[in-house]
Every structure is written in structure tokens, then in C-alpha cells.
Amino acid sequence: MAIPVPGSQVRGSTTGKPIMALLDLLGRTWALGIVWNLQQGPATFRQLQLRCEQISPTLLNSRLKELKILQLVDMQDSGYQLTQQGMELITIILPLGDWSQNWAKHILKEEN
């Protein structure tokens, strides 16, 4: 599966509109989870694997390569970390985390 680059054909868009490329990327198994877990700060490969609930090393390696190529993640002395672009993405995603907490409370209240 090719890396979803804006301007190239991606899932859901033959023209590769930037939003579709982003949605293709974030819809891949563990891509969003890796970004989410790196908001806690830099992590070595092993630490990130633990944060991601024992993601397989092969899948983690593949997603990190994609996220590095797309300039969302970088490798520094302290480990993998979000780039400036990755941090900007987190500021957009964080409200979804808050919303999901309220949503879960609502759903669980409805079930009781």
C-alpha cells in the first residue's frame, strides 16, 4: 500500500486532496494511535510499543516510516517524537479526546 501523499491518488480520492490523504493515513491501523501516544513525549521504539498496547514491531516500524516520511514524526536522541506538524495535528485531535469522554459517559448512562 502506497504512502498517502497529498496530490497523489489515495483511498477515497483519485486527485489526492490533502484532507483525503490525511484521512487515509490516520485510518491506517495504529497510525493515529502512534501520534496520540507520542503526545505524551518522546519515546524509544520499545517505549512506544508499550504505549501502543504491544503493537507488533513490524507494524510499528512500518507506521513510523510513513509518519516520518510525511513529516509528522521525527527521530531524535531522546527517541521518536512529534514534529511541529505532528504537534499541530494533536491540537486538532485533542478536542476529539474530550468529546469521546463525554460521548462514552452518555452511552454508558443510556445502557444503565
Q: CATH number of the domain that 29 lies in?
A: 1.10.10.10
Residue 59, in any domain of the structure:
yes
Which tens digits make up the pLDDT trace of 25-55?
999 999 999 999 999 999 999 999 999 998 9
Cα separation values, 10 from 5, 17, 85, Å: 7, 8, 20
For residue 55, tell me if it sits in a domain: yes
Structural domain count, the chain: 1
Instruction: For residue 36, tell me if it sits in a domain.
Output: yes
pTM of the predicted model over 0.75 = yes
pLDDT of the residue at 112: 67
The DSSP secondary-structure symbol of 79 reads: E
In-domain check, residue 22: yes
| 2 within some domain | no
Identify whether 41 is part of a domain.
yes
Residue 78 C-alpha cell reads as 531522546
Domain that holds residue 28: 18-111
Whether 28 maps to a domain, the answer reads yes
